[in-house]
Amino acid sequence: MTREGEFMNFQIEKKLKNSLGRAGVLKTPHGDILTPAFVAVGTKATVKSLNPEQVREAGTQVVLGNTYHLYLQPGDEIVRDAGGIGKFMNWPGPTMTDSGGFQVFSLGAAYGKDISKITKITDPSLLIPERFDDSDAPRLAKIGQDGVSFKSHLDGSIHYITPEKSIEIQHNLGADIIFAFDECTSPAEDLQYQEEALERTHRWAERSLIEHRKLGGDSALFGIVQGGRDENLRKKSAKFIGNLDFDGFGIGGSFAKEDMSTAVKWVNEILPEEKPRHLLGIGEPEDLFMGIENGVDLFDCVAPTRLGRNGTIYTKSGKIIIMNTKFRNDFEPIEKDCGCYTCQHYTKSYIAHLFHGKEMLAGTLASIHNLYFIVNLVKKIRQSILDDKFFEFKKEFLDQYIKNS
């Protein structure tokens, strides 16, 4: 149950017929978020290559910082002393921090294995880690029953994060929405490991909630559902986490792409309908439609800015590689009918030149377009729900987008 008026207020404005999708409004101490919404990732309290005005002009409503990174640099106490992450980074709107669980996964089971939020399982044996061994190499994190110890990727210093510590750090960072500490598992882990990990995540959820209540303040705490690709575990987790007194929920995991929609559906059929749900770390166009159709309200993903910095640019007809020779002489904007700052002022020729010249403005201009593209795609999806045209819009958009991708 949301404690209305106390921390957070989520109102559903409209539901999709014959699916779990909905449009709503999520109130936070720093303003309302119209959902579904795409959350811009500002890992180290900066959305890479953009200033907050550019983030805002792209249509962004809310920014998510990474607890793991900010704990190590500059340190959560500096962010606290600065007045919290929003004030520190000059972002006046709503903010979130994740719990650090995914970074633990990246440093542990997934370390050096080139797997991330979406994984193609070609050789599962590659993904199954040895755990609880005494060797530090090649992993930087070890998972115990009470928490996770890891070596800083910056200076090799040793840190130990428990659920209580994660919540304490997040209270120092001071975002409007924070997450319970969890363990993100690889989709290639065996069932026994998934069960053990899920038990830990559930115990850690309860401990996160207790610590959060103890510390007080006006942030909202979201619990995280895990369970890998197993239907029983996903449902078990949704029931357990959904029954705890969280203000909303995250859906975590490193997904095989083909598993994602079923996992999201299993979970959202169980989670209490009246609370917001955030699909963690997911944000490609086709995944946004899938998630929203299956009841997701919030998404975050580094893709728009990471792809942008690498010169991969979203268009309605699929992604383009701006350093392709043909764009050197192309004096049209990326998309003629795009309302973003980049498309209003620059040609593909100029942006290509900036990338060829390794100029910093290259990544900025491409990131602005990509962020605008994704943020506004979600806004259009929201409008299509309000207009009872979700499925038409989905077909129309994906037909053009996927066909050319």
Q: How many residues bind a second copy (CB under 8 A)?
A: 36
| CA pair distance 126, 7, nearest whole angstrom | 43
* Residue 48 in the binding site for a second copy (CB under 8 A): yes
Pattern 26-45, a second copy, x by CB under 8 A: ------------------xx
- ∠214-94-185 over CA atoms, to 5°? 65
DSSP labels for 328-358?
GG--S-S-TT--SHHHHH--HHHHHHHHHTT
Pattern 315-344, a second copy, x by CB under 8 A: -------------xx-x-------------
| CA pair distance 92, 382, nearest whole angstrom | 23
Q: Which of 86, 252, 304, 363 binds a second copy (CB under 8 A)?
A: 363
Q: Which is nearer to a second copy, 69 or 202 (CB)?
A: 69
As a residue count, the chain comes to: 405
300 tagged catalytic: yes
Q: Which of 11, 90, 232, 324 binds a second copy (CB under 8 A)?
A: 90
Q: Which is nearer to a second copy, 29 or 74 (CB)?
A: 74
- 248 backbone dihedrals φ, ψ, rounded to 5°: 180, -175
Q: At what angle do helices 360-386 and 285-293 cross, to 10 degrees?
A: 30
| CA pair distance 116, 283, nearest whole angstrom | 13
* Residue 81 in the binding site for a second copy (CB under 8 A): yes
Q: Which is nearer to a second copy, 81 or 245 (CB)?
A: 81
CB of 174 to a second copy, least distance (A): 14
Both structure tokens of 252: 């975590």
32 tagged catalytic: no
* Nearest to 108, CA basis, from 138, 63, 67: 138
Q: Which of 360, 387, 395, 405 binds a second copy (CB under 8 A)?
A: 360
* Residue 395 in the binding site for a second copy (CB under 8 A): no
Catalytic residue among 76, 247, 297, 300: 300
* Residue 103 in the binding site for a second copy (CB under 8 A): no
* Residue 152 in the binding site for a second copy (CB under 8 A): no
* Nearest to 307, CA basis, from 292, 320, 290, 326: 320
* Residue 80 in the binding site for a second copy (CB under 8 A): no
SS (H, E, C) 77-98: HHHHHCCCHHHHHCCCCCEEEC
Preceding peptide of 304 cis, ω within 30°: no
Catalytic residue among 98, 176, 182, 230: 98
CB of 60 to a second copy, least distance (A): 15
* Residue 109 in the binding site for a second copy (CB under 8 A): no
Specify whether the CB–CB gap between 99 and 197 falls below 8 A. no
Q: Can you tell me which residue has the tokens 């990131």?
A: 367
Q: Which of 34, 82, 128, 244 binds a second copy (CB under 8 A)?
A: 82
* Residue 364 in the binding site for a second copy (CB under 8 A): yes
| CA pair distance 95, 84, nearest whole angstrom | 10
CB of 8 to a second copy, least distance (A): 27
* Residue 78 in the binding site for a second copy (CB under 8 A): yes
* Nearest to 342, CA basis, from 368, 319, 373: 368
Q: Which is nearer to a second copy, 208 or 364 (CB)?
A: 364
What residues act catalytically? 98, 300
Q: Which residues contact a second copy by CB under 8 A?
A: 44-46, 48-52, 69, 73-74, 78, 81-82, 88-90, 328-329, 331, 345-347, 349-350, 352-354, 356-357, 359-361, 363-365
